[in-house]
Chain A
Amino acid sequence: MTADQTRQAVLDIITEIAPDEDLSALSNDVPLRQQIQLDSMDFLDIVMELRKRYGIEVPENDYGKLSTLQGCMEYLQPKLP
């Protein structure tokens, strides 16, 4: 996957978790939770979906790396097919 596709994969997951949020203008560098209503449990839903959809296990020590879209792209891209 390219960085853009990785970004889109994360957005697809967020769309399912928070279908009422507008994701069209999200910044890559600002923590997701400052841009949309996403609580820490919604965040765990992202971890769960990554495992379900792509078989990616995110150890708890790496949770912090997923706080921004940029972080998600850097962390996930090498793990995605």
Chain B
Amino acid sequence: MPVGRHPDPGTLYDAVVIGAGFSGLAAAVRFASLGRKVCLLERHTIPGGLNSYYSLGGRVYDVGLHALTNYNTGDARAPLRRALRRLGLEVADLGLDPQTTSRIALGEAELVFSNDPAFLEDGIAARYPAEVDGYRRMVQALPGYADAAEMAGRGGAREFLARHLQSETLRELLLMPPMLYGSPTEDDMDFGVFAALFRAIFLEGLCRPRGGIRTLIRLLLRRLREEGGESYFGCGVRRFEVEDGRISALVLDDGTTLQARRVLSSIGLHETLALAGTATPTGAAGRISFAETFTVFSGTPADFAWKDGVVFFSRGPRFIYHKPDGLVEPASGVICIPENFGPSEGRQEGPQKGRRPEASLRITCLANHENWTRLSEDDYRLEKQRCFAEMRRVALDFLARPGAGVLEARTLATDMFTPRTIVKYTGHFAGSVYGTPAKSWKGVTPFANLRVCGTDQGGLGVVGAVISGLWSADLMALSKT
């Protein structure tokens, strides 16, 4: 199998896919499954893109993925089932651990949800009895598994929620998870993206692959090898050669020139156009970036009575979702405790099995890319420490607080990533996690044989990215060159 460092400059590829995140991986598998000669290129040495992992001190840390959405896959045409079938995989291959519960905490208000939509509905009926009929009508009014492209531009999520729900607090509670898990726009989100994420999170539910994101990445790489696709890591694209409105060749970082009939790029719309020498318009880069803290501790989450897999939190009665003026916005964010997924027995059988039980606490908050970028190396280290402490202090208000010094005494390892880290490893402009606010819903570019997939085509989250990659590969496979 030709998996080395250098693709063959003498080959005319049917398709070159740029970026081995989930959309790029899925697209490459699909091209290969259709019998196309495909080459997947990734600049970083590790695949996964915005949902990747790294090893540090003998532990594996997931970046990006908290939870996989769309867990309930009963309907054969449900997005995850459909996507997996197209990838030649089955749900069972993923080893998914469902959540027990997750929680949304907004000031004094809270809602708990599980993978049973009736549980959330009961919670709403108990706390907001006057709203439950409106909630049911709202769920009925959500579009089905339509393409985000068809829903795009149909107004904002807040307007839709306000049409069905009187309580501003309830509207905030229901908007917070979809927004934190995928809104490229500040303060309000596109209705189509909201509908897809609301369904994915609340109606289909959350889970985690046992063994973390690596499991999924390896499955996709295995499928790519099985289908005869090629993949190259540490192999970035420096620029495109353009002729008659088409990409005629790709020049790699090492100077090699590749020929391809079609190019599908998952590295971001403007990041892609920059390879063809197109300047990025001001304001086109996304404004949503994150910082995340990791605390690995000995014992289990149950030792602290931490039950929830994910906690979406806001200190105030309105959650904050815009680029902070400072380095981070600790007052709103997401807590994830990966070990709280799966059956309560045997939860320790994660990637760290064989050790004494340990668990981790991840806290994710919005962060300001420019402010992190302009720090000197020394200040960067200091600010990371300061923000780490601040983020954890605020987030612990939303969990049963451990006794003074207990979590610290049990801490085995800590780490943190910032927008600077995201730029370094993904190359996304401004460390943008959900991409440009002006999505390219159709994925087309000014170049006839170049499309974009992934975040900037509207494929948000791991499942969204996979669907975007498959959809884009299909459209390219059906198009004439």
Are the CB atoms of A48 and B86 closer together than 8 Å? Answer: yes
Alpha-carbon gap, A52 to B34, bound state (A): 9
Chain B residue numbers with a CB within 8 Å of A45 are 85-86
List residues 23-67 of chain A with CB under 8 A from any CB of chain B.
40-41, 44-45, 47-48, 51-52, 57-60, 63
On whether A51 and B33 interact (CB within 8 A), knowing A40-B478, A60-B477, the answer reads: yes
Are the CB atoms of B76 and A19 closer together than 8 Å? Answer: yes
A4 interface residue, CB < 8 Å from B? no
Are the CB atoms of A51 and B76 closer together than 8 Å? Answer: no
On whether A58 and B76 interact (CB within 8 A), knowing A40-B478, A44-B477, the answer reads: no
Alpha-carbon gap, A59 to B478, bound state (A): 11
Chain B residue numbers with a CB within 8 Å of A41 are 86, 470-471, 474
Most buried by B among A17, A52, A60: A60
Nearest neighbor of B474 in chain A, beta-carbon distance: A41
Chain B residues bordering chain A, tally (CB within 8 A)? 15
B88 interface residue, CB < 8 Å from A? yes
Are the CB atoms of B35 and A44 closer together than 8 Å? Answer: no
Are the CB atoms of B33 and A40 closer together than 8 Å? Answer: no
Are the CB atoms of B34 and A51 closer together than 8 Å? Answer: yes
B77 interface residue, CB < 8 Å from A? yes
Chain B residue numbers with a CB within 8 Å of A57 are 35
Are the CB atoms of B35 and A58 closer together than 8 Å? Answer: yes
Are the CB atoms of B33 and A48 closer together than 8 Å? Answer: yes
A22 interface residue, CB < 8 Å from B? no
Q: How far is the CB of A69 from chain B (nearest CB, A)?
A: 20
**Per-residue contact bits, chain B 30-57, to A (CB 8 Å; 1 contact, 0 not):** 1001110000000000000000000000
Nearest neighbor of A51 in chain B, beta-carbon distance: B35
Interface residues on A, range: 10 to 19
Q: How far is the CB of B431 from chain A (nearest CB, A)?
A: 33
Q: How far is the CB of A12 from chain B (nearest CB, A)?
A: 14
Q: How far is the CB of A53 from chain B (nearest CB, A)?
A: 11
Alpha-carbon gap, A65 to B83, bound state (A): 26
Chain B residue numbers with a CB within 8 Å of A52 are 33, 88
Most buried by B among A44, A52, A58, A59: A44
Alpha-carbon gap, A57 to B227, bound state (A): 12
Q: How far is the CB of A44 from chain B (nearest CB, A)?
A: 5
On whether A44 and B76 interact (CB within 8 A), knowing A51-B35, A57-B35, A58-B35, the answer reads: no
Q: How far is the CB of B5 from chain A (nearest CB, A)?
A: 29
On whether A40 and B34 interact (CB within 8 A), knowing A19-B76, A20-B76, A45-B86, the answer reads: no
Partner of A44, one of B34, B85, B88: B34
Nearest neighbor of B36 in chain A, beta-carbon distance: A60
A-B CB contact pairs (8 Å), 19 listed: A16-B85, A17-B85, A20-B76, A40-B474, A40-B478, A41-B471, A41-B474, A44-B474, A44-B478, A45-B85, A48-B34, A48-B86, A51-B33, A51-B34, A51-B35, A57-B35, A60-B477, A60-B478, A63-B478
Q: Contacts A48-B30, A48-B34 given; 7 further ones with Cβ under 8 A?
A: A16-B85, A40-B474, A40-B478, A41-B474, A51-B35, A52-B88, A59-B35
